[in-house]
Structure 1
Amino acid sequence: MSFQKVFLTTLAVLSLCSSASSQETLQIAVDQSFEVVSQTVEDASLTPVLTIDHARLAAAEGVEMPPSRVQLFSDLRVNTMILQQNVRAGLDLPFRVLSYAENGASKVIYTPGSFLAQRHPLTSGSTLSDFDKRIEAAFGSLKDTTPQPMATEGVDRDFAIIELRSQFPVAETVDRLKKAITAQSDTIWFGEIDFQREAATIDVELMPAQLLLFGGPAPGGVAMADFPAIGLDAFCQKLLVYAGEDGKAIVLFNDIAALAELHYGHSAKPHAMLNKRLTETFANAITQ
């Protein structure tokens, strides 16, 4: 082998090693910010709901994406106050915080009360203030990374929401949707939140409303590869099922392409493909 070839090969190996080292450093930084928030959630008497390691789940399916870990946590009183004003805001409950890497830096982003207020018109300033105070309580111990609220410019009523009408009541609609989702081999079922049942524990009557949580590590990883910030709200995927005036369920879920455009100013083909797949899957489950 010539000296030139050896030199170029050495450079290539060093470049790969440097890239791997950089990725490992970013993963460590993301893990650290995630763990700090997780501990502070506990210290602030907030209720952990779900954590998802987007990148590691995707890697297990052979899909590469930047480090990304989201956590959902809750305050029952704040949740219930918001749902009493507008049950559709359940699509954006509970609190969400994303630790992720982008452009060589570790970042933390969260969903602020202003996003809920614009997307699901909420009028109580005190309720929104309580929402922000409680989510910000989870950041008290963060030192190296300053959490940033997600952008809300251009967000208006029902922004990025896809709505379907079910032929069935909430309980049967939930059963049908859960069967359709878990029948897909590339999908993980994370769980569900029964908002009505939770509200009853503090003696508040609420209409039937449930939030279903699931995700596909491989298709989700592809969709997030160049758009990691959408791991905050588009993934895991969420379905809000609540009772309409006629007793039949209304189903809401996120428009992935629209959320990508909110975060990055543009979307990509995988986002549109997932929107189409999800819409067809849900519509078939609740209309047949």
Structure 2
Amino acid sequence: MKKLIVLLSLSMSLIANDIIVKESSCNVDTTVDNIKNIVRAKGLSVFAIINHHGNAKSVDMKLNESKMVIFGNPKLGTALMQQDMKVGLDLPIRILVYMDTDSKVKMAYRDGSWLENRHILNAPQKIKKMNMAMDKITTKAGTCIKD
């Protein structure tokens, strides 16, 4: 029952229109490595990688490959939190990389307007910049050459 509730919650959150899902031509680990490398090359900080698949396995549960990359720009995050401290609940930024039920690797992340719509922010240029960066990061991270 617990497993069903978690799956339903995840499904409902992915239906929301503020979540962007893109396909990767790489496997999960390569996509995650690509994201880390791109983010670091941009001077951003990678704070953590959460291995949801590994965590499920550690409690004898099955879950498709799934890793969360948590990263950010402390300068941008601080500027947003100076406007509304509660933005810190939704930062740092995250990209979920997972294998879907059709064995396709996907990357999911929230559109930056989600922050602006749920917090007291006046930062349209910062949000636009964040959205453009997330699009570029995920597009590049999901590109692998297939033989």
**What TM-score do the two structures reach when normalised by structure 2?**
0.82
**In the TM superposition, what is the alpha-carbon distance from 1:82 to its structure 2 partner?**
5.0
Matched residue SS, 1:250: strand
**Alignment partner, residue 13 of structure 2:** 119
Instruction: Write the deviation string for residues 157-209 of structure 1: whole angstroms up to 9, x where unpaired.
Output: 32421221111121211111111112222x11111111111111111111111
CA contact (8 A) 1:180 1:282 kept: no
**Alignment partner, residue 208 of structure 1:** 65
**Alignment partner, residue 274 of structure 1:** 130
CA contact (8 A) 1:210 1:242 kept: yes
**In the TM superposition, what is the alpha-carbon distance from 1:220 to its structure 2 partner?**
1.9
Q: Are positions 1:182 and 2:59 aligned together?
A: no
Q: Are positions 1:164 and 2:22 aligned together?
A: yes
In our comparison, the structure showing a higher alpha carbon Rg is 1
Q: Are positions 1:231 and 2:88 aligned together?
A: yes
CA contact (8 A) 1:227 1:260 kept: no
The whole-number CA distance in structure 2 between the counterparts of 1:271 and 1:228 is 16
For 2:81, give the aligned amino acid. Answer: M
The whole-number CA distance in structure 1 between the counterparts of 2:63 and 2:113 is 32
The whole-number CA distance in structure 2 between the counterparts of 1:82 and 1:189 is 30
**In the TM superposition, what is the alpha-carbon distance from 1:275 to its structure 2 partner?**
1.0
The whole-number CA distance in structure 1 between the counterparts of 2:38 and 2:85 is 27
The runs of at least 4 consecutive aligned structure 1 residues that moved more than 3 Å come to: 80-83, 264-267
Q: Are positions 1:242 and 2:98 aligned together?
A: yes
**In the TM superposition, what is the alpha-carbon distance from 1:281 to its structure 2 partner?**
1.8
**In the TM superposition, what is the alpha-carbon distance from 1:227 to its structure 2 partner?**
3.2
CA contact (8 A) 1:209 1:241 kept: yes
**Alignment partner, residue 75 of structure 2:** 218
The whole-number CA distance in structure 2 between the counterparts of 1:265 and 1:175 is 32
Q: Are positions 1:286 and 2:131 aligned together?
A: no
The whole-number CA distance in structure 1 between the counterparts of 2:33 and 2:104 is 14
Greater RCO (CA < 8 Å, at least 6 residues apart): 2
For 2:13, give the aligned amino acid. Answer: R
For 1:158, give the aligned amino acid. Answer: A
**Alignment partner, residue 49 of structure 2:** 192
Count of aligned residue pairs for this structure pair: 143
Identity in percent: 24
**In the TM superposition, what is the alpha-carbon distance from 1:232 to its structure 2 partner?**
0.9
**In the TM superposition, what is the alpha-carbon distance from 1:228 to its structure 2 partner?**
2.8
Residues 158 and 267 of structure 1, relative CA distance in 2, 3 Å threshold: farther
